[in-house]
Structure 1
Amino acid sequence: MQKAMDECGVKSLGCMAHTLQLAVHNGVLSQRSISDCVAIGRKIVGHFRHSQLATSRLRIIQQELGMKPKMLQQDVTTRWNSTFYMMKSLLDQKRALGVYGADHELPACFSAYQWGLVENMTTLLTPFEQLTREISSHLATAADVIPSVVALKRLLSKTADTDSGVGTAKSTLLEAVNERFGSAFSEPLYYLATILDPRYKDRYFDTVTKQAAVNMLQKQVDKMTHSDRTTETPDTEEPQEKKIRTSDEGGKSLLDMYDEILEENLIMEQHAGLTSRTSVQVHGYLSEAPIPRNESPLKYWKSNLSRFPALAKAACKYLSAPCTSVDSERLFSAASHIVDEKRNRIQCEKAEMLLFVKKNLPLLMKEA
């Protein structure tokens, strides 16, 4: 996919899901104490996966304890969230596994300290799992990268009661996120996509970066106003990364970070107005409050096309870029169900039409 983008002469961005995978692996799963827990978890899951007798015994124990019979999940080393789901399934079956281990032999078992470590580890990685699901949606765009990273870094900088045993992993994870996503804070495409998303606008930038993003948007709007064809993104000096404010508050979630950042920017805007160098459209657009995160930015621009025609045109360009390759990989997988051994003489045009219908028909049905 990257080669295709390069040959077409189109600017490409990295896959956010893959970057999260690298950050979690380097920050958490590479820690010795956590990797030991993961290895024990794999042995326990493998024991039940390879023994029908052990599986049936565990199912009986689950029924006796009034639990819903459920299989333990096996992880895949290349997908960090599968490891998260495996450890979470072990936590859910902790009582059943304890009863099973008292009567039958297990290849390995967790100590009391390791059970606590597993619980705190899953709590630490829950925001990453939530973010992975959000950015894997077909509606996710490049505009989600900077706000998500800013909110994630702020959450990791706060202390919580569940940091026991994973404090080092948490700080290492924050460093990995800063390192892996550092390039996102110097990429103009991310800034333009973020500020053109009515859910975020310029609320997730600091003072210096906010002004740089507004200037970028103004330059791009001027270019698209005077020319229907833009071949390059605007040049600007590298923006500075937002400083993270630490706090002793605990029990915060990733969603709380989004609201907290918006509230802080609202207070700042009450004391300082927008720069007079912005155009009427940019000034009017940024002066309005962001729409809720559960609303569609594309529907916003469709309904506000007459108010901000130049901005809507720029939004169509920059909000079309996805932030991950997940959806395109799903489409490649769907092609294998259309062209297979029993239907291998189908014409390329018809296969393409079937893929188009599969991808777009659900969208048309939702609108209807």
Structure 2
Amino acid sequence: MFLDPRFKLYFEDQYVADTTKQRIIEMITTIINKEDRNNPQIQNEEQQLSDQAANPPPQLQINLVWQHYAEKMKNIQPKGTATSRAILEVQRYLDDKVVLPCENISSLEWWKKRKDVYPHLYALALKKLNAMATSVPCERLFSSCGLLLNDRRTRLGTRKVQQLMFLNQNS
């Protein structure tokens, strides 16, 4: 429910809300760490910038001042740890307005529109917000329930029927 923008703040228990938020932050931190490890382009760009600063070509000597400025700004504005970036993204998501169910927008449509704003939450939402592709398990369970409850077994209590259904489905 946390990843559905219509119900992101709807928690009856504050402990459950905090625990859910913490789990989402941990999942996003894992995604960010994997991205950083698997993205050598960022490391190559940083290496190229440092190489250019050390040995500037003649045509770029005019831009040396701006390269120096860029290096200074890069050092002043750190990228942050994966955890801090995850916390910021989740907090921005929570601060965003809640989508009302009467707006008739599905959660997946909402995420597609905001995939650039919340890239890591979007990736997580695609994994977690999925629907069952088939209704066969539900239909099978419904049919077996119909077979269990016949004219002879109409006096079975609800609890007993649930137990029989559980045993039937898991055997």
TM-score (normalised: structure 1): 0.22
Q: TM-score normalised to the size of structure 2? A: 0.46
Structure scoring higher RCO (CA < 8 A, sep ≥ 6) equals: 2
